[in-house]
A = this chain, B = another copy of it.
Amino acid sequence: MKNLRFEKQRPVAKILTIGDELLKGTVLNTNARFLGSELLRLGFKVDSQIACPDDIALIKTEFSRALAGAQLVIVTGGLGPTPDDVTRDAIADFFKVPLILSNRQLSFIQNHYKARGRKMPALVRKEALFPRNAEPLFNRCGIALGFSISAGERLVVVLPGVPVEMEKMVRELVEPRVRKKFPGLTGRLALIVKTVGISEPEVMKKLGNDFFDDPFEFGIYPMTGEVTLRLYTDCLPIKRRLERKVRARLKKFVYAYAETTLAQEIGKILKRRKKTLAVAESCTGGLLASEITGVPGSSVYFKGGITAYGNDIKEKWLDVPPDILQKKRAVSPEVALWMASRVRAKMNASFGIGITGIAGPSGAGRQKPVGLVYLAVVSPKKRKVWKEFFSGTRSQVQARAAKKALEYLWQGLRNNF
């Protein structure tokens, strides 16, 4: 879906990801994806992503070609301490400059080891080196130094390949340098729409054909139990028109117009209303609690959770009566409700969630297939239970069930459940 009639000319960016593990298929190239969407947001046109092995000659060839065809080249990976990490050597070699030591980074690394009561291994010193023509970029989540090089009209940025380190550095160190180097760059206007409880084809249907009459860049991203829309345009009236249409057509499925998570949004609501939450999980095995406590500050509203895997734990810790477990079995609406209401009462929380189901691959019985999950939410006023079927592998069923529980809680909170 592209209509570039009204689009500005955009500077070109290329992404070069280094590492044998990418070419051997050992890891997924999440860095290329992250950088693609960040550069789009900043206003670049990314016209190639190249993955290249840990090999000086190949890195130099690909880098040289990338630099010739782009205003911005971002390189990630190959900055580790081992001999196969050769990215910094390749880049210094390309520019015919020596590598020099950052004393600031070296003492940071030394302190890192000291704080752990360990001696710094000699080969780690390499991670404080950068090409003489570069500006060091200080990584504070890990020990590998990044760097950036201003080459005429062009900007080169070299970052470690560890995703959390790279992502933090892009947002904190690279973005300001990019904005400075390309002062005329205007990011595209972005409309972010986070929806839950609706599938990708349903979103498309609800948006309708006339939604695409305006020229804009359209991205639809299905994830576990969620669909995110990211719409980009250079034109404010178009952005406003799109927003109005989205609000009218997807209203009850939108939980945020920003990059956030459902667990985070639920946290905000609970905090604002001074309410608390407790969860009792069986088949999701702690995943729901883990998603809730992944949010900073969740201790304000999250009382705690219990993973009641065995029936004995359900009986002893959640007072599920043995006869209900016997007659209705563990995977039943009755047990889900019992779990939600007992964990709520016993942890003295405003809301309780209970989940019981069959995550698979084994454990299915007659009339109880893998993927069958009962979800219960109990509030001070009401109790509600849902029967769901989730497809996929064990971890997919677990992730979908945990997300669905958050969806029902969010709906409940919105409707003053």
Q: A25-B37, A46-B23 are in contact. Are A299 and B303 (CB under 8 A)?
A: no
| Contact A123:B201 (CB < 8 A) given known A220-B82, A395-B294 | yes
> Known interface pairs A202-B121, A285-B292. Does A23 touch B48 (Cβ–Cβ under 8 Å)?
yes
A150 interface residue (CB < 8 Å to B): no
CA–CA, A220 to B306, complex, Å? 37
Tell me, yes or no, whether A186 is within 8 Å of chain B by CB: no
**A1-B82, A1-B84 given; A389·B230 CB < 8 A:** no
CB under 8 Å from chain B, chain A span 373-417: 389, 391-396, 398
Q: Does A298 contact B (CB under 8 A)?
A: yes
Closest 8 CB pairs of A and B: A285-B293, A286-B289, A25-B36, A25-B37, A286-B286, A286-B290, A121-B201, A49-B51
From the candidates B30, B47, B62, B204, name the one contacting A48 in the complex (CB within 8 A).
Answer: B62
Known: A285-B289, A286-B307. A23 touches B1 (CB 8 A): no
Interface mask (A274-307 → B, CB under 8 Å = 1, otherwise 0): 0000000100111111101110111100111111
Tell me the bound Cα distance from A50 to B21 in angstroms: 15
Neighbouring B residues of A11 by C-beta, 8 Å: none
A83 at the B interface (CB under 8 A)? yes
Find chain B residues with CB under 8 A from A142 CB: 392
- A319, B305: Cα distance in complex, Å: 16
Partner of A27, one of B1, B221, B290: B221
Report the separation of the CA atoms of residues A112 and B392 in the bound assembly, to the nearest whole angstrom. 12
Report if A208 contacts B (CB, 8 A).
no
On chain B, the residues within 8 Å of A297 by CB distance are 362
Q: Does A93 contact B (CB under 8 A)?
A: no
In A221-258, which residues have CB < 8 Å from any B CB?
Answer: 221-222, 230
A362 to B297, CA, bound (A): 7
Bound Cα distance A290, B62 (Å): 42
Contact A294 B398 (CB under 8 A): yes
**Chain B residues in 8 Å Cβ range of A285:** 289-290, 292-294, 298, 302, 305
Residues on B with C-beta less than 8 A from A289 are 285-286, 289-290, 307
Distance in angstroms between the alpha carbons of A105 and B162 in the assembled complex: 44
Whether, in the assembled complex, A34 has its beta carbon less than 8 Å from a beta carbon of chain B, the answer is yes
Q: Tell me if A40 counts as interface (CB < 8 A to partner B).
A: yes
Q: Are B309 and A219 in contact (CB under 8 A)?
A: no
A362–B290 Cα distance when bound, in Å, is 18
Stretch of A94-102, A265-273, A310-318 contacting B (4+ beta carbons < 8 Å)? A310-318
Point out the residues of chain B lying under 8 angstroms from A347, CB to CB.
313, 317
Q: A334 at interface (Cβ–Cβ under 8 A)? A: no
**B-contacting 9-mer, from A52-60, A129-137, A176-184, A321-329:** A52-60
17 more A-B residue pairs beyond the given contacts A26-B219, A285-B298, with a C-beta to C-beta distance below 8 A: A2-B20, A21-B221, A23-B36, A23-B46, A23-B49, A24-B219, A26-B221, A48-B58, A81-B201, A82-B204, A112-B391, A162-B222, A285-B290, A285-B292, A289-B290, A293-B398, A304-B310
Inter-subunit contact A33/B29 (CB<8 Å)? yes
Write the A188-231 contact mask toward B (1 if CB under 8 angstroms, else 0).
00000000000011101100000000000111111000000010
- A302, closest chain B residue (CB): B309
CA distance A24 to B235 in the complex (A): 19
Contact B313 A308 (CB under 8 A): no
User: Do A25 and B21 touch (CB < 8 A)?
Assistant: no
A304 touches B308 (CB 8 A): yes
**A152 interface residue (CB < 8 Å to B):** no
When the two chains form their complex, are residues B51 and A22 in contact, meaning their CB atoms are under 8 A apart? no
Please state if A303 and B296 are interface contacts (CB–CB under 8 Å): no
13 contacts between A and B (CB under 8 A): A2-B55, A25-B35, A25-B37, A29-B33, A47-B55, A84-B218, A121-B201, A121-B204, A123-B201, A123-B205, A284-B290, A285-B305, A286-B289
